[in-house]
Amino acid sequence: MKAKRYMLFSGDNYYPQGGWDDHDGSFDTINEARELIKIEPRRRSDGVLYLIYIIDERAFDWYQLIDLNTGKEINLFPNSIESYIEFN
């Protein structure tokens, strides 16, 4: 069985699980991972906007998509509310 090229990890800033507990899937292509992750702006009770990433209907503060061939992280989406606003 051939290993998939891309691995997705996600978690919360406040309660990170760490390592394999943050693993959300492996994919052959970047597009497969992109289809799984949704991005949403949210507003805290103090009015500050921030981004969350929705994966399998669960909300997370961060995600990492790692290319196992290069060892590099791939950014699929804006990683700040400012860049999200510019992007949309």
Q: Is residue 64 part of a domain?
A: yes
Is 11:35 a contact under the CB 8 Å cutoff? no
Considering the domain boundaries, does residue 30 fall inside one? yes
Domain assignment present for residue 1? The answer is no
pLDDT in tens, 35-68: 999 999 999 999 998 899 999 999 999 999 999 9
pLDDT tens digit sequence for 13-33: 877 677 888 899 999 999 999
Domain hosting 63: range is: 6-87
**pTM (two decimals):** 0.82
Q: How many domains are contained in the chain? A: 1
Structural domain contains residue 45? yes
Residue 16 lies in a domain: yes
